[in-house]
Structure 1
């Protein structure tokens, strides 16, 4: 059987536009392939979230499905496998299912609802859907198709012998029912290393059941989630028939009768993959939100420099504005580095001094601050002046402001609410500082975009004389390692200290992470590139009191 995977970038909510692309694909590929397979919920985009609670939205979906069925009558030689949310017809439960629909020749031949509904990390499918009440196979074009949806393929007892989340294995059930081809439609989001895990998981299904396996994944950025594509297919021996591109749309046709090629899957380079993911996430966030241009505050530091490089790669140099806003404590080198960066990137550049504005603030507040010493208050005023300037350009000219803070800073609150945290998208808020340096070197892989002096100087917020980040924070390699253990791995203070870290440093990091939840709650949406980002996948209370014994 010839199967074409449509690795498409579906727009959430755009039922009409997503449906039109499916019709266009059928008209274009009819007769050249037996079946066109689209990703999970491709008719509405993933994740549709609470749009699924709108009755008018589900009415649109049902109407679009009916139109697709009618349209398919004109192309009876090729089928469509489409992901869509549809009512279950039951009067109890959520009354809605995450469905895969096999359409051909003017008929809905088969419907398979999703069995396993994830509720961990960024997923919350049980909020909207009921699980399938049955799993079955369907005959099509001389084959018996076993169709599943995303999470249904992630409960392989051989692959996760100690970490199964569910008692039921839908893929095993489909194989037991006589499937001759397994197909999984998916919306599996990116994080570092996910591509290799996904490849080995699907490969294991093919080998275990000795069946060809087709895996169709979504691509594109939707809010904080980035979908990397990488759709793939395997023969019955577990050898890859195809591995689609990452971070771009593609139409991939495979013949399930062919034998695979073990050399088709070189693992992604971690740094290159994160860079491409962030570029895709920025581009789609702006385009899908109706923005064309971005404005960035350039400090002369590595975070804003990396953000500018990513924005240019995503939007083009003509659509990025960089503004440097020196204060009384800004070094001449930082201003020059910002200017050189802008010239290297070819972006528009402006210098707006905040010295007089800062002096006006201090003069206004002097009678009320009499008798007190300057502290973080005055530092934050500078950051908030800069935030106001960036937002003024956003309002006046329609730029989206990109905030430039990294994950290490956001974790411990080394950032200013309504200051450097201002913006519509926090592009690198899930990128640890140590990875920022690696990404900056990657940005410079062909020629120097980020000035070498930016890469080599000690990080500084430059909000007081001779300030350095390490005056307030542990060294970034130590901080990032502790954050990895605490935030992503969920280890306790005792477990982290036992790994060789200074106990007092561990306690400080953990207390500071917990104390700054209120800041993160007010941050702009950030693009997820690790297995545990600050955002929808980490739901911690703001008002809380933790047992300090756990931190000793």
Structure 2
């Protein structure tokens, strides 16, 4: 009986719906695993179809094509090379499952269905899948593998069933989305599975952006003594060979050098890069175009775009109005020069005059107000969309979570666009990210090595510059106050009284709560953007627009 098993862990980047392309990714990973001398290749959850597939699995043709691709890959294992563990749809007896397949010797030697279906936050798997029974181990070349699919290991039932039925190691394939700090959280949550079963544990994740979700990889191995034997990198595709030796009836992994876990700021920044890069590339946009105002939000958005796509694929447009300051003009130009991106100026003064003349008969003698401010923002949105239509670049919006929370944004104006890297980033974090990027170059960056914005962009008071001497704080509380209240209302679901008890001013909390509640209709029309925290608008937090509930106590 063999005493050593070599398992290659493939942290790959699948493309949802691209079954043929995903099969080729798995083939390339298998070839690399063979070169490394692996007995088995493990790929992520739903790797043949891309995760999450959402309603694609309701299409019989999608499931049939995936099944055919899996059969073809299985036939290729007749060459005596590594076996393969992969994920994909499994339709059996009229039921759809989130499936796991083991390929070896030219055929599918085992199938397993996901037992624990997540139905919270960004997940709604119970809507499209049926759960399978708690699985037993899979016999593979003289070893008994305890194979699981993502949520199966978050609870003890599946791992205990596998251990009790003779598994020698626990291996979980995953589509686990990124949140700040989640890489360490997964390790902490895996420790009880090791303690309960006495078995080593493998977490294998994917590395990709999929609409709002980002998957950072961060695959790891815990040995039966709970020690961390393998830590794969975050936000990077990688294939790592692990060597397992049978000791006292269990498999123990030879420890390797551990990849470092980046700081919180670096994790967020690289998540934004990966989310934008995959959204633009997988949707086949040639690049992005954005308004570069000289302010901090557009500056960091442009920096992320240059780092993710390369400066040659980023087009920045300064769209001054009569209220645009000289400092903003200088700062926008300086940002573009530091980033090495294309930069041009298109003034919106003529558009403002045209709309003023066009609407004068309808407006009559009414005094100028927020209507005229919004016309400026919409003129800019129209300009960017015209450039997008003409040249094909996707419009990158630049609004942050603080603004979107309270509706400090203009529908069909600065909200106009295809994607947002700041959608889940509060303003106070925007400041931290700007300082971090000016001092560091993220791994995988295609942008410049030095600072990406002048210091003045970070230090000057934020302003929409839609009227003379305007600042954000004319309308909003100071951002450190606003963000603390918003985190309590949004992430914490705390009520007004609870926040007042924590020391916040009652009138300010009530004002922020009302703005948050009123702005739901705007957020429903916002573009998708990278999910960073536990309660992102759209995927996580889904409130009714028409909503008469006003109990503020809890």
* Alignment TM-score > 0.5, same fold: yes
Could you tell me how far apart the structure 2 residues matched to 1:514 and 1:153 are?
37
- Stretches of structure 1 lacking an aligned partner (at least 5 in a row): 157-168
- CA deviations 1:4-62 (Å, max 9, x no partner) are 11100000001111112222333443371111000000000001111111111111011
- Return the offset for 1:68: 1.3
- CA deviations 1:76-116 (Å, max 9, x no partner) are x42100101110224xxxx1000111110012111111001
- Return the offset for 1:213: 1.0
- CA deviations 1:264-318 (Å, max 9, x no partner) are 3654310011001100111000000011211010111000000000000011011
Could you tell me how far apart the structure 1 residues matched to 2:86 and 2:375 are?
53
Q: Secondary structure at the match of 1:57?
A: helix
Aligned 1:459-498 pairs, distance under 5 A = 459-498=462-501
- Return the offset for 1:72: 1.2
Q: What does residue 217 of structure 2 align with?
A: 229
2:348 equivalent to 1:354? yes
Q: Secondary structure at the match of 1:436?
A: helix
Q: 1:116 to 1:183 in 2, by over 3 A?
A: same
Name the stretch that deviates more: 485-494 or 21-30. Answer: 21-30
TM-score by length of 2: 0.94
Say if 1:225 and 1:527, in contact at 8 Å, map to a contact too: yes
The one of 40, 43, 59 equivalent to 2:45 is 40
Could you tell me how far apart the structure 2 residues matched to 1:223 and 1:151 are?
21
Say if 1:240 and 1:262, in contact at 8 Å, map to a contact too: no
Could you tell me how far apart the structure 1 residues matched to 2:258 and 2:503 are?
40
The one of 233, 239, 244 equivalent to 2:227 is 239
Q: What does residue 107 of structure 2 align with?
A: 107
Q: What does residue 68 of structure 1 align with?
A: 73
Q: What does residue 155 of structure 2 align with?
A: 155
Q: What does residue 90 of structure 2 align with?
A: 86
Say if 2:498 and 2:553, in contact at 8 Å, map to a contact too: no
Aligned length: 534
Say if 1:526 and 1:535, in contact at 8 Å, map to a contact too: no
Q: Secondary structure at the match of 1:256?
A: strand
2:324 equivalent to 1:330? yes
Q: What does residue 273 of structure 1 align with?
A: 267
- Return the offset for 1:482: 1.1
Could you tell me how far apart the structure 2 residues matched to 1:551 and 1:418 are?
35
Say if 1:240 and 1:260, in contact at 8 Å, map to a contact too: no
Q: 1:123 to 1:318 in 2, by over 3 A?
A: same
Could you tell me how far apart the structure 1 residues matched to 2:76 and 2:29 are?
12
Could you tell me how far apart the structure 2 residues matched to 1:3 and 1:151 are?
22
CA RMSD of superposed structures (Å): 1.5
Aligned 1:486-525 pairs, distance under 5 A = 486-525=489-528
TM-score by length of 1: 0.94
- Return the offset for 1:367: 2.0
- CA deviations 1:458-495 (Å, max 9, x no partner) are 00000011111011111111111111111111112211
- Return the offset for 1:545: 1.1
Say if 1:400 and 1:424, in contact at 8 Å, map to a contact too: yes
- Return the offset for 1:127: 0.8
Say if 1:222 and 1:281, in contact at 8 Å, map to a contact too: yes
The one of 16, 20, 25 equivalent to 2:20 is 16
Could you tell me how far apart the structure 2 residues matched to 1:408 and 1:261 are?
44
Could you tell me how far apart the structure 1 residues matched to 2:215 and 2:551 are?
40
Could you tell me how far apart the structure 1 residues matched to 2:298 and 2:34 are?
48
- Return the offset for 1:390: 0.4
Q: 1:384 to 1:551 in 2, by over 3 A?
A: farther
Q: What does residue 395 of structure 1 align with?
A: 389
Q: Secondary structure at the match of 1:3?
A: strand
The one of 51, 54, 59 equivalent to 1:54 is 59
